[in-house]
Chains A and B, each alone.
Chain A
Amino acid sequence: MKFYPFLLSLLLPLQSFAERGTGDLGLFIERASGSVQLIETSGNTALGRIEGLGDLSHASVVFSRDERYAFVFGRDGGLSKVDLLEKRLVKRIQQGGNSIGGAISQDGRLVAVSNYAPGGVRIFDTETLDLVADIPATYGERGERSKVVGLVDAPGNRFVFSLWDAGEIWIADLKDPQHPKVQRFAQIGKNPYDALITPDGRYYIAGLFGEDGFALLDLWHPEAGVRRILPHYGKGDQRLPVYKMPHLEGWAVAGRRAFVPAMGHHAVLVIDMETWQEIGQIPVKGQPVFVMARPDGRQIWVNFAFPDNGYIQVFDTETLALVKELHPGPAVLHMEFEPKGEEVWVSVRDGNEVQVYDTASFTRRATLPAKKPSGIFLTARAHKIGL
């Protein structure tokens, strides 16, 4: 008994590093050097770098539900678990040859990775990173394997994803993690390139590269099947060559309107989410890559593919008018809003900087040096469906 205070005093200094919350933390990817930087959004500073994460081109991140751990999906098939408080790599596994993204389950126990090679989805225990289930994306008579894109989590401990080569959408139900139940939807359109789920977790929408339009699946009514929406957007105008696939992550929603990149056009599509009809197009500077809504839905921020990737345009969602054009520097790759939207973080790959802007005045609040930064991920994502 007497020893307790003594022992405690020994332990305390060691643990003091952990005495902070994680709600204002995040990571950004340094794609060339296989590292991530830990950031905090209260003072807009970097807290340190975590290295040894492999090839991080096109890397993405999801967070554990306690917002302490980040799971980083690398292009080389690596899956890394990072402790944000201890600023260290907890575990890293080589789960596939070539991967593209991941998702964390509704219950927080499973982390899923979508792979290009070998094509499919692998599911791991978030605690141990042990393999729980393997879902090969086989299709066709010869059992070929398709690259998998657009993997998201959905209510009911499900994962939903699309098969680039096969033109299919699959729902994997992981209520019994050892025995995933897969439901397949074939012939949804040619070459789905990415997908998203609406913030309420109801609609899964895949963008098509090989055809016009989007494939829509109502997860409340999967029995109704997949239907095509906006089949004619851009008809008449020649589609331009696409130098970078747009991202559909985080469908920008404001009221009943959604804003999405038009593939191969210098336009953002405005969609009415009750009728799923196109109600307008916003002409923009280049081919949009990300179209992100500020969390209050009042603005959308758009960045662009090569060669217009030095710019960001900001539009008012009510009037659809351009309110600001920014030129953060060469190769703007990603934008991440702080949870309540007063600031936005922007990665400028070839400028080797991450910048923070005030979203009301558009003044720059901070500039952080970085090595070829790409995706920026804040812990608030932990509590959002599909992120």
Chain B
Amino acid sequence: MGKRLGALALGILFMTGLSATEYIQISPARQAELRNLLAQDCGSCHGLRLRGGLGPPLRGAALAGKPASYLAATILFGRPGTAMPPWQPFLTEEEAVWLANLLLEQP
């Protein structure tokens, strides 16, 4: 699973000139849902603008140096022993990688 995520995230960087969020095929309607999920439901712990709350800030600068695959794994599986829950029941791997890249691309 972790390997697939890594391959997915890296493949995007190597094979295309597109940014990761442009490359991953997610319908515009689903993208809008994911952005809403991020702002509202992730936002209930990470802040509506992702500047931090009970969970840490998730804007690009705060995540600098952390690979997308690692962040996507955190999103899918959560962090046991902390308040970060697993979102696997609601997100596909592609969607998690897309979200991780969206976070990294935010200033």
Known interface pairs A116-B54, A164-B54. Does A244 touch B41 (Cβ–Cβ under 8 Å)?
yes
Asked whether A65 is an interface residue with its Cβ less than 8 Å from the other chain, the reply is: no
Q: Complex formed: what's the CA distance from A75 to B52 in Å?
A: 9
Q: List 16 A-B contacts (CB under 8 A).
A: A55-B51, A56-B48, A57-B49, A75-B53, A76-B49, A98-B52, A98-B53, A100-B53, A241-B86, A242-B85, A244-B41, A244-B44, A245-B45, A245-B83, A350-B40, A372-B40
Return the contact of A117 from the options B36, B39, B40, B52 (Cβ within 8 A).
B52
A164 to B52 alpha-carbon distance, docked (Å): 15
A174 at the interface (CB under 8 A from B): no
C-alpha gap A76/B36 in the complex (Å): 19
Give the CA-CA distance A56 to B78 in the complex, in Å.
26
- Residue ID in chain B nearest A100 by CB atoms: B53
Q: Which residues of A contact B52 (CB under 8 A)?
A: 98, 116-117
A331 at the interface (CB under 8 A from B): yes
Cα of A363 to Cα of B49 in the assembled complex, Å: 36
Main SS class of interface, B:
loop
Residues of chain A at the chain B interface (Cβ within 8 Å)? 31-32, 55-58, 75-76, 98, 100, 116-117, 147, 164, 191, 193, 209, 241-245, 306-307, 331, 349-350, 372
Pick from B41, B45, B54, B86 the residue with the most CB of A within 10 Å. B54
- Nearest CB of chain A from residue B36's CB, rounded to whole Å: 7
A209-B83, A331-B40, A350-B36 known; A55 vs B48 contact (CB < 8 Å):
yes
- Contact in complex: A243, B85 (CB < 8 Å): yes
A77's nearest neighbour on chain B, judged by CB, is: B51
The CA of A58 and the CA of B86, in the complex, are separated in Å by: 22
A57 engages B44 (CB within 8 Å): yes
- In the A-B complex, the 10 residue pairs with the smallest Cβ-Cβ separation, listed nearest first, are A57-B48, A241-B85, A306-B41, A244-B44, A57-B43, A243-B85, A241-B86, A98-B52, A55-B49, A55-B48
- Measured between beta carbons, the chain A residues less than 8 angstroms from B78 are 241
In the complex, A243→B43 CA distance in Å? Answer: 11
Q: Closest CB of chain B to A130's CB: distance in Å?
A: 26
Give 1 or 0 for each of B43-86: 1 = CB within 8 Å of chain A CB: 11101110111100000000000000000000000100001011
Interface residues of B in 3-54 (CB under 8 A from A): 36, 39-41, 43-45, 47-49, 51-54
Residues A98 and B51 in contact, CB atoms below 8 Å apart: yes
B39 with A245: CB separation less than 8 A = no
CA distance A306 to B49 in the complex (A): 19
A101 to chain B, nearest CB (A): 12
Within 8 Å CB of A55, what residues of B? Answer: 47-49, 51
Q: Which residues does chain B contribute within 8 Å of A245, judged by CB atoms?
A: 44-45, 54, 83
Please give the distance in Å from B97's CB to the nearest CB on chain A. 20
CB distance from A369 to the nearest CB of B (A): 18
Contacts of A306 in B (CB 8 A): 41
Can you add 16 more A-B contacts, CB < 8 Å, to A31-B48, A241-B86, A306-B41? Answer: A55-B47, A55-B51, A57-B47, A57-B53, A75-B48, A75-B53, A98-B51, A98-B53, A100-B53, A164-B54, A191-B83, A244-B41, A244-B44, A245-B44, A349-B40, A350-B40
- Tell me the nearest residue of chain A to B90, going by C-beta: A307
CB contact between A58 and one of B41, B44, B83, B90 (< 8 Å): that residue = B44
| Bound CA span A243–B45, Å | 9
Asked if B40 and A116 make an inter-chain contact with CB atoms under 8 angstroms apart, the answer reads: no
Chain A, residue nearest B33 (CB): A350
Q: Which residues of B contact A209 (CB under 8 A)?
A: 83
User: Across the interface, which residues of A come within 8 angstroms of B85, CB to CB?
Assistant: 241-243
- Chain A residues contacting B41 (CB-CB under 8 Å) are 243-244, 306
Nearest CB in chain A: distance from B80 CB, A: 10
Complex CA distance for A243 and B78, rounded to whole angstroms: 11
CB pair B36–A242 under 8 Å, yes or no, is no
Contact assessment for B40 and A75 in the assembled complex, using a CB-CB cutoff below 8 Å: no
Report the separation of the CA atoms of residues A89 and B101 in the bound assembly, to the nearest whole angstrom.
38
A32–B51 contact, CB under 8 A? no
Residue of B nearest to A330 (CB): B36
With A32-B39, A241-B78 as contacts: A75 and B47 at CB distance below 8 Å = yes
Q: What's the least CB distance linking A53 to chain B, in Å?
A: 13
Distance from A129 Cβ to chain B, minimum over Cβ atoms (Å): 23
Known interface pairs A116-B54, A209-B83. Does A32 touch B90 (Cβ–Cβ under 8 Å)? Answer: no
Of the candidates B48, B49, B78, B85, the one having the most CB atoms from chain A within 10 angstroms of its own CB is: B48
B40 surroundings in chain A (CB, below 8 A): 331, 349-350, 372
Report the Cα distance A191→B85, complex, angstroms.
Answer: 15
